[in-house]
Structure 1
Amino acid sequence: MTKPFHQVAYVVRDLDAAVRHWADVLGVGPWSVWTVGAEVTRDQVYGGQPASFRFRHALAWSGEMQFELVEPLDGPSIFADQLERSGPGLNHVGRLTDDHAAESAALVAKGCVPLQSATFGESQDGRFAYFATPENEGILELISPPTVRFAPDYVYPIAGATQ
C-alpha cells in the first residue's frame, strides 16, 4: 500500500444535523451528501455474506484531509453495529487504491478481516471495502473511486448562500 491515508470517518445518528455542525461550528465544508443503497451499489457484502444495506454519507475536505460522516439507515452494516455497541464517533480511516483486489488480498494475508464491501458509482467501477485490523485495533477502508459518481442529494452550505 503506497498511498497515504486521506480520510477519517465518523458514525452519526443524524447526518443532516452533523453536516450543519461540522460546517457551521467547525468550519469544515462544503459537504456533499449521498444516499447509498441497492439503487447505487452492487455486490453488497457484510460479514462475508451477500447483504442489503443502506446508509447516508457526507464528504468534505479540510486541507488534504477528507472527512466522512455516515448515518446507517437499513440492513446490517459496520455503522449500525457501532451505534448499537458504542454510539456515535470515529469509525474508520480510509485510503485510496489503484488495485483494489491486490491490496485487499494483501490486507487479508496480513491478518485483516473483511467486514463490508460493495461496488458503487454511476459507472459501477468504484469499490469500497472495510477491514478489521489484526487485534481489532481499528477499521481500515480501501477506496477505489468510480470514474463517474452519482450527483449528490444536496451540498451544504450552498456556494454563495448566506447563513
Structure 2
Amino acid sequence: MKMAGSVPLVKVSELFQAGIVVRDLDESMKRYQSLLGINSWKVVTIDSSIVRLTYRGKPSQHSFKAAFTMLGSLMIELLEPLQGTGTYREFLEKHGEGLHHLGHARVPDLDRATKALEKAGFPTVETGETLGGSGESFHKWAYVDMTASLGYIIEFSSGIDPRESFKMM
C-alpha cells in the first residue's frame, strides 16, 4: 500500500545494516555460528586513533569492538563497548543486548539532515568520522534517536559507502 502524505523530513532510499549491541563479541560470534551458521566476520577495534567521536554533543574518547558480516544484502554489525561512555554502553546498561540501530540511511548532507531531524524532536545521540591515514575524514555518521516514533535509532551517513569500506577491511 502506497501512503500519500507530505514531504518527509529526510528521504531514505535504503537501510542495509542492523547494528546489534553485545556484552561479549567473541561469545556472540560463536552464538551466530552455532544458531545461524554465520561464521565469517571482520573484526576491528574502533578508538580515537581511527575515528573522531562525539557523544551527546561533546567530544568522546570511548572505544568499542565491531564485527561485520554480510548476509545477502544485509550487513550485520555486532558492537561491544570497551572503554568510556558512548551510545553502545548506554544501550547495554538500559536494555541489555539487542538491536541498537538500523542503518545506513545515506544522505548527501549529514549536518543538514541531522539539524532537520533535531528540529523535529529527534536528537542526535552520537556522531563519528572515520579518519584516513593523514587525518582526513572520509566517512561520517550520526545516530539519531527515533525510538519515540519508530522504535529504534537510525544511523545516517555520508561519504564512502560502508559496504565499500567493508570490502577494504
TM-score for both structures, normalised by structure 2: 0.78
> Which residue type is aligned with residue 72 of structure 2?
G
Paired AA for residue 152 in structure 2: G
Match of 1:130 in 2: 143
2: CA distance, partners of 1:65 / 1:81: 25
Structure 1 residues 28 and 96, CA gap change in structure 2 (3 angstroms): farther
Q: 1:92, CA displacement in angstroms?
A: 1.0
- Partner residue, 2:98: 89
1:107 aligns with 2:117: yes
Count residues with an aligned counterpart.
151
CA 141–29 in structure 1, closer or farther in 2 if over 3 Å, else same: farther
What residue ranges of structure 1 are gaps of 5+ in the alignment? 153-163
Deviation at 1:121, TM superposition (A): 4.2
Which residue is 2:156 aligned to?
142
Match of 1:60 among 56, 66, 69: 69
Work out the CA distance in 2 between the residues paired with 1:7 and 1:149. Answer: 13
Change (3 A) 1:47 1:76: same
Aligned with residue 76 of structure 1, among 77, 85, 90: 85
Higher-RCO chain (CA-CA 8 Å, sequence separation at least 6): 1
Aligned to 2:8: none
Residues 1:23 and 1:134: Cα distance change in structure 2 (over 3 Å): closer
Alignment RMSD (CA, Å): 2.3
| 2:4 equivalent in structure 1 | none
| Aligned residues of 1:3 and 1:95 also touching (Cα < 8 A) | no
SS where residue 85 of structure 1 aligns? helix
Does the C-alpha gap of structure 1 residues 131 and 25 become closer, same or farther in structure 2, counting only changes over 3 Å?
same
The structural deviation recorded for 1:135 is 2.4
Instruction: Report if the CA contact (8 A) 1:121-1:146 is conserved.
Output: no
Question: Deviation digits for residues 14-65 of structure 1, max 9, x if unmatched?
Answer: 11121232134312352111111101112x1101111111011111111111
> Counting strand residues as a fraction of each chain, which structure ranks higher?
1
